[in-house]
Amino acid sequence: MIEVRNLVKYYGTHMAVDHLNFTIKKGQIYGFLGPNGAGKSTTMNIMTGYLGATQGQVFINGHDILSEPYKAKKDIGYLPEQPPLYMDMTVLEYLKFVAALKLIDKSIKSAQLDQVISLVRLGPVKNRLIKNLSKGYRQRVGLAGALIGFPEIIILDEPTVGLDPQQIIEIRQLIRGLAKDHTVILSSHILSEVREVCDHIMIIYQGKLVASDTPENLEQKMQGNETIELLVKGSPEQTGSVIRQLPSILSSQIEDSGEAGCTKALLTVKEQNDIREDIFWTFCKNELPLLRLANTRTTLEDIFLELTSSESSRNNDSTKEDPTDESNL
């Protein structure tokens, strides 16, 4: 339903988006994950027709965002990083204004405004001036604006930035709720957020797509060898002799556990081998009680760090993110 082909964006001589290619399918929550300055906002601004690309194309349900903007844009609701709100309007006035811009039919306009206001829970503040609202409520007003017309695709740029923890939980719940009837694309530089909310993660780094998969597959693909930690009620010699009976062990390390009569062991196991049951039964047969069995997996955190740090250490160019750069969208 969304196809991004060979997208490139230069700001002056700085390449912010570097030949991006991807397809977004219907009915899922996609997460653009990447550190600040990775090119997420630029990509979203191009996908929604706010910004022209230097090269490449974006198709929304088959319509080119540049040559058929009306047809393409009618299927998209966009919440930019800084929603363009009119501070001197009330919430209701603003949403009516957005509905007018989106050419919402008069006959359904007020019912739809009610629906959006209740969905985003803006009822209690609908007659307040936007300038008097907290950041969390303003974010919801922006989200309500994006939802008017109930477009198929909802694109949200860092929707939880600047919100307090309670507001973050509420916005995430709202996003999950939206995914029942919409395709949602959100961006975030926070891994835990993307992992929690998204069905599919696209890691963007220095304008490139460096990974694209489900959170589970990303974790699995990148998984190296697994480490299993054991705490055994027995001597180091007894523990060592049981470990030698186990399959698929690459290496083992026996350590002092700090507990009298107990031994700690760290096992490195070949990739994709789950031998936890084998460990349990082998120790049982040898009548050696296992007090703890824990495996440490490669986490998405590790993957994210690996993908986004290896190049950055090599590539310290001066075009890197400047925290004082107001031009960062």
Applying CB under 6 A, which of residues 31, 34, 77, 83 lies at the interface with ligand ADP?
34
**Residue span binding ligand ADP (CB under 6 A) among the ranges 32-40, 168-176, 271-279, 285-293:** 32-40
Binding residues among 297-326 for ligand ADP as defined by CB under 6 A:
321, 325
What, of Mg ion, ligand ADP, none, does residue 220 touch, CB below 5 to 8 Å by kind? none
* Nearer to Mg ion among residue 88 and residue 322 (C-beta): 322
- Residue that the structure tokens 């006035």 belong to: 93
- The total of other beta-carbon atoms located within 10 Å of residue 126's CB is 17
Applying CB under 6 A, which of residues 4, 29, 33, 39 lies at the interface with ligand ADP?
39
* Nearer to Mg ion among residue 36 and residue 315 (C-beta): 36
Instruction: Spell out, one character per residue from 217 to 256, where the chain touches Mg ion: x when CB under 5 A holds, - when not.
Output: ----------------------------------------
Applying CB under 6 A, which of residues 4, 30, 37, 264 lies at the interface with ligand ADP?
37
What is the arrangement of strands in the sheet containing 226-233, beginning at the earlier edge strand?
A: 249-256, 262-269, 226-233, 290-296
Minimum CB distance to ligand ADP, residue 187 (Å): 7
Applying CB under 6 A, which of residues 20, 29, 42, 155 lies at the interface with ligand ADP?
42
195 touches 186 (CB < 8 A): no
* Nearer to Mg ion among residue 14 and residue 121 (C-beta): 14
The answer to whether 40 contacts ligand ADP (rule: CB under 6 A) is yes
Q: Which residue is nearest to Mg ion (CB)?
A: 41
Applying CB under 6 A, which of residues 4, 41, 139, 154 lies at the interface with ligand ADP?
41
The answer to whether 188 contacts ligand ADP (rule: CB under 6 A) is no
Alpha-carbon torsion, ordered 132, 133, 135, 141, to 10 deg:
-130
Minimum CB distance to Mg ion, residue 189 (Å): 8
* Nearer to ligand ADP among residue 81 and residue 93 (C-beta): 81
The answer to whether 41 contacts Mg ion (rule: CB under 5 A) is yes
Applying CB under 6 A, which of residues 2, 4, 24, 38 lies at the interface with ligand ADP?
38
Instruction: Spell out, one character per residue from 1 to 30, where the chain touches ligand ADP: x when CB under 6 A holds, - when not.
Output: ----------x--x-x--------------
The answer to whether 327 contacts ligand ADP (rule: CB under 6 A) is yes
Residues forming contacts to ligand ADP in the complex (CB under 6 A) are 11, 14, 16, 34, 36-42, 321, 325, 327-329
